[in-house]
Structure 1
Amino acid sequence: MGYFIRDDISSAAGTTREDPRGRPVSTASPEAIAHMEQALESMLSYFGDPLAALDRAAEADPGWAHVHVLKAGLLMTGGEYGSTRMARELLATAARPGAVPHERESAHRAAAQAAADGDWDRACQLWEAILVQWPRDIAALLFAHLFDFYRGDALNLKRRPQRVLPRWSPDLPFYGYVLGMAAFGLEESGHYAEAEDTGRAAVAMNPRDPWAIHAVTHVFEMQGRHRAGAAWLDDRLQDWSVDNGFAFHNWFHAALFRMEEMDTRQALAIYDAHLADVSELALQRVDRTAALWRLKLLGVDVASRFAALRRTWATEAPEAGFYAFNDLHALVACIGAAPDGDAAMAADALLEAMADASSGGSTNERMTREIGLPLARAFRDYSRGRWSEATEGLLRIRDRAHGFGGSHAQRDILTLTLMDAAVRAGQRALAAHILAERHAAKQHTPLTAFWQGRGAGV
C-alpha cells in the first residue's frame, strides 16, 4: 500500500502538533489524529476494526507515514508469518524517501522493522527506548507488552507498565488500559492480590476492557478459585463476549473453569458453541487446541474435533517454523486427531519446519532450538506411546518453558501432559510429586481429585 509525500509542515520535523496525551505527531490534520485515536482504542479494547481506522487516518493525511508503521506493528501482534509478511511490505512502503517524521515516529519505525526482521528482543528494547522519552506512547507500550508475552518475558511484562504508570493520570485517555496491562504483568509474576486489585480498578474504570477482565480471570485460575472465576466471567458476559475480538480467549478460560470442576460436558459445550468455528487467527487455534487436548487427557473423545482442527493449522514452512509456541500447538492438533497417514505426515512436516525455524528470525530460532523443538519431540514420543521418553522430555524442558511465550495457564498443558505420561510410564511417584505443586492453590478441586484417582495421589 502506497502513500503520497506531502511537502508541507504536516511532514516536517519541527511540528508542534500533539495527540491527546501530549505526544508530538508529524501531521497537522486533526481528522487524522482523531482516526488514529479510534485505531488505538480498538487495538486496546478489541472492539471495532483498528485497521480500518488506520486506513481512515491515512486518507485524512496521505503523507503521515506513521500510520503505516503502526499498521505494520499491529499486524505483527498476531504472531504469524502471513501478517508479518504484510507488515514487511508496509514498512518498505513507509520507508520511501521524502517524508520527515518526528523522531518518536522514526523510533517506532525502527522498532517495527526489528520485529519484522524477527529480532523481537531488539524490538522490545527499541519500544522501551520510546517509552523512556515518551512514557505515554500507548502504542509502544502495547506492542512491547504483547511481545513480552510472546517472548515469555514475565519480568518486563510486569515492570514495563509499572515504569510508565507514574507519568499517567486517570484523566488521560487510555489510562485504564495501562492499568489492565499492569494487572496482567503482576499476575504472571505471581503477585496475585495486587494483580486482582489493579485489574478490578481497571474494570471499574472501563467495564468493557476485556484485557483487564482477563487479567483478573487469570488470578482466579492461578489461585484455584474456579467457581468465583466462572461467576466473574458470567457476571460480565455482555461486556466481553459481544462483538469483541478477545472474546474467544475469555471463552477458553470459561472452559478451563468448567474443567477444574470436572464438568467436561459443559466445557465441551463451550468449545462447540464459542471456539469450534473460530480459527482465523493462530491465537484462536492455540486456544482451540489446548482446550481439546485438556479434554482428551480427561478421557473425553474429541478425536473428530481434532481431525477438523488440525487441518486449519499450517504444517509446512514458512508458515510453520515461524513461532515455536504456535508450532507446538499445531503439532498437538495433529497428534490429537485419530491417527491416520495424513496426520502423521503433517506432524513430520511440522517437526521438519521447526528444525529449520528460519522464517521467524533470530528470536524464534532461539526459542525453537531451546524449548519448542524439544517439547515437540516429547509430544511426538507421547503420541507413539513412548511414555518414559515423553516423561523425560517434558520434565527436562518444562521448568524453562516460559521462555517460548504463553501464560502460566496456557503452559499448564505441559504439566498436565507430563503427569499423564508419568502415570502411563508407571512413574506414579513422579506424577504425585508434580501434582503436589497444585497443593497450595488447587488441593481441593475436582480436577486434582481426578489426577489423584489416576494414580498421581499425593
Structure 2
Amino acid sequence: MDAAVDDDTTSTTSRTSRTARPCRTDARGLAVGTRSQAAVDHLEAALQAMLSYFGDPLAALDAATAEDPGWALPTTLKAGLLLTMGEHGPTLQARQLLRGGAEAAARGTERERAHAHAAAAAAAGDWEAACDAWEAILVRWPLDVAALLFAHLFDFYRGDALNLKRRPQRVLPHWADGLPLRGFVLGMLAFGLEESGHHAQAEDAGRAALAVNPRDPWAVHAVTHVFEMQGRHHDGARWLRSRHADWAVDNGFAFHQWFHAALFQMEALDTEGALATYDAHLAPATDMALQRVDGTAVLWRLKLLGVDVASRFDALRRTWSTQAPDAGFYAFNDLHALIALAGAGDVAALQSAGDSLLDALRSPASGGPTNRRMSAEVGLPLALAFTDHASGRWSDAARGLLRCRDRAHGFGGSHAQRDLLTLTLLDAAVRAGDRALARHVLHERFPAKAGTPLTALWLQRIGRLA
C-alpha cells in the first residue's frame, strides 16, 4: 500500500504523476493522497461514524488532519458532513473549511479533487449540481461511500426518491460480500426502496443490512418506515423495542427513531405515550434543525388530536430562528418553524415572526438556487396554508393544502414526515364542514391503514358532520 496507485484502483498509469503526494489506499482499495497510515485509519473511523451515527466523525476527521495536515480529503469530508445538516451556520463553517483547504485540495488525487468540487457546489446552495458531481465520482469510483452518503442525504433533502433508490442500486454490484462498510450501502438502498414504494424489497434489504451489521440505525430506520407505510403500527413499535440497543444508546440518529416511535403511538391513539416520548426524548433535542423538525411534527400531530401542547410549543418555537439568514436557507425547516409558532397559539408572535418567515420564503437570500426553487414551488404555498389554518380560515387552509400537497415531495422529507400535510388538510376540511373533501382525502389511508384507531377517529369526526 505504500506505492503510488491509480485512482480507479485497477491499474497503474501516467495519471498518478498528476498527484503530487504519494498515495496509500483505503480499506476498499481507493487511492488516498497521504503517506500516513494513521491518517487513513482515522478517516476509516470517521466514515464508520458518519454511516452509523455512533461516535464523533468530526473528531475522527480532525485526527486524520492532525496526522497529515497536508492531506485535504479529511477537511473536504468534514465540510461535506457539515453541509448535510441543512442549516446556514454549519454551511458557513463548511465554506470556510473549503476556502482554507483549497490549495491542499488542488494537490490531491483526482477523486479527492472531485470531492472538493462537489462540496463547493453544495456549499453554494446548488444541491442538484452537487449530487451530479458526487454521481460522477460514483461512476468512476463506485466504492466511494462518502460520495454515496452525501448524495443520498441531499437526494432526501431534495425529495428525489428515484435516486434515493437508484444511486445505491447502481453501485451495489461493485460491493463484494465482506467489503468494509458494505452493510451501510444495503441500508441506504432499503430506505430508497421504501421511499419509492417497494416496501417488501425495502424490508428485505433492511434486514439483510442488519444481518451484516446489527448496529446500523439507518437500516433499522428503513424497516421502521416500511411498518409505518403499511399501517403495521403494532409491529413497528415492537420492532423498535426489540432493536433498542442498536439505535437508542449513544446514537446520533436516536432522536428521529423516537419520532417514529411517537408516530406508532399516535396511530394507536396512545396520546399519553406519545407525549411522554416527546418529553423524554424530543423536547431535550433542539440543537439541530433536524431535531426541531421532529419535535415540531410530533407536537402538531398531538394538537390535531386535541391534546393541549401549547406550553410545549411555546418552549419549542423559541429554539427556532425566524429571521434571515437562518430562515430562508431551507424551506422544509422554515415551514416547521412556522408550524411551531402556530402551535404555540401566540397571535402576536405569529404575526411578527410569522411575517419574517414568510418574507424569508418569498426571498430566500441565504440559501441557494435549489432552495429558491423549493421555497417558491412548495415552501411558501404550504406556509400560507398553515397561516390560514392558524387564523381559523379553514376553507382557505384546506384549499391551499390540497393544491400543494401532491408536489410537496419537492422540498424534501419522507412520506411519513409529509403525512403531516394530509392530517392538517383533514383537520381543516372537518373544521370547514366540508365532509366530501374530508372523506375524499381520508380514503387515501384505507389501503394501508383502514383498520387503525387513528383512521377510526377521523371517520368519527367526519361522520359527525352529517
TM-score of the superposed pair, with normalisation by structure 1: 0.96
Q: Distance in 2 between matches of 1:113 and 1:177?
A: 25
Kindly report structure 1 stretches of 4+ aligned residues shifted beyond 6 Å: none
* Aligned partner letter, 1:103: E
Q: Distance in 2 between matches of 1:362 and 1:267?
A: 38
For the 8 Å contact 2:21–2:34, the answer to whether it is kept is no
Q: Is 1:443 matched up with 2:450?
A: yes
Q: Distance in 1 between matches of 2:98 and 2:112?
A: 13
Q: Is 1:422 matched up with 2:429?
A: yes
Q: How many Å apart are 1:11 and its aligned residue?
A: 10
Q: How does 1:101-120 map to 2 (within 5 A)?
A: 101-120=108-127
Q: How many Å apart are 1:456 and its aligned residue?
A: 6.1
For the 8 Å contact 2:156–2:413, the answer to whether it is kept is yes
CA root-mean-square deviation = 1.5
Bigger mean CA offset, 375-384 vs 344-353: 344-353
Q: How does 1:401-416 map to 2 (within 5 A)?
A: 401-416=408-423
**Which residue of the partner structure matches residue 226 of structure 1?**
233
Q: Distance in 2 between matches of 1:173 and 1:11?
A: 28
Q: Is 1:333 matched up with 2:340?
A: yes
Q: Distance in 2 between matches of 1:245 and 1:455?
A: 40
For the 8 Å contact 1:187–1:215, the answer to whether it is kept is yes
Q: Is 1:251 matched up with 2:264?
A: no
For the 8 Å contact 2:76–2:116, the answer to whether it is kept is yes
Which of 84, 92, 100 is the matching residue for 2:107? 100
**Which residue of the partner structure matches residue 389 of structure 1?**
396
- Structure 1 unaligned blocks of 5 or more: 1-8
**Which residue of the partner structure matches residue 387 of structure 2?**
380
**Which residue of the partner structure matches residue 179 of structure 2?**
172
Q: Distance in 2 between matches of 1:142 and 1:380?
A: 35
Q: Distance in 2 between matches of 1:67 and 1:241?
A: 28
CA change 1:426–1:196 in 2 (3 A) is: same
For the 8 Å contact 1:65–1:94, the answer to whether it is kept is yes
Bigger mean CA offset, 362-371 vs 349-358: 349-358
* Aligned partner letter, 1:319: D
Which of 419, 433, 445 is the matching residue for 2:440? 433
Cα deviation digits, residues 357-382 of structure 1 (max 9, x gap): 12110000000000000000000011
Q: Distance in 2 between matches of 1:85 and 1:14?
A: 29
Which of 39, 52, 68 is the matching residue for 2:59? 52
Q: How many Å apart are 1:10 and its aligned residue?
A: 12
Q: How many Å apart are 1:216 and its aligned residue?
A: 0.1
Which of 305, 318, 332 is the matching residue for 2:325? 318
**Which residue of the partner structure matches residue 82 of structure 1?**
89
Which of 73, 98, 110 is the matching residue for 1:66? 73
Which of 120, 130, 147 is the matching residue for 1:123? 130
Q: How many Å apart are 1:430 and its aligned residue?
A: 0.7
Q: How many Å apart are 1:335 and its aligned residue?
A: 0.5
Q: How many Å apart are 1:14 and its aligned residue?
A: 6.7
Q: Distance in 1 between matches of 2:141 and 2:20?
A: 16
Q: Is 1:236 matched up with 2:243?
A: yes
Q: Distance in 1 between matches of 2:351 and 2:177?
A: 54
Q: How does 1:122-161 map to 2 (within 5 A)?
A: 122-161=129-168
**Which residue of the partner structure matches residue 372 of structure 2?**
365
Q: How many Å apart are 1:97 and its aligned residue?
A: 6.4
Which of 351, 356, 360 is the matching residue for 1:349? 356
For the 8 Å contact 1:429–1:456, the answer to whether it is kept is no
Percent identity reads 68
Q: Distance in 2 between matches of 1:355 and 1:310?
A: 21
For the 8 Å contact 1:15–1:24, the answer to whether it is kept is no
Q: How many Å apart are 1:342 and its aligned residue?
A: 2.8
CA change 1:177–1:456 in 2 (3 A) is: farther
Q: How does 1:25-44 map to 2 (within 5 A)?
A: 25-44=32-51
TM-score of the superposed pair, with normalisation by structure 2: 0.95
Q: How many Å apart are 1:96 and its aligned residue?
A: 2.7
Q: How many Å apart are 1:98 and its aligned residue?
A: 8.5
* Aligned partner letter, 2:328: G
Q: Is 1:260 matched up with 2:267?
A: yes
Q: Distance in 2 between matches of 1:34 and 1:98?
A: 19
- Structure 2 unaligned blocks of 5 or more: 1-15
For the 8 Å contact 2:19–2:110, the answer to whether it is kept is no
* Aligned partner letter, 1:205: V
For the 8 Å contact 1:11–1:63, the answer to whether it is kept is no
Q: How many residues align?
A: 450
Q: Distance in 2 between matches of 1:174 and 1:13?
A: 29
* Aligned partner letter, 1:123: A
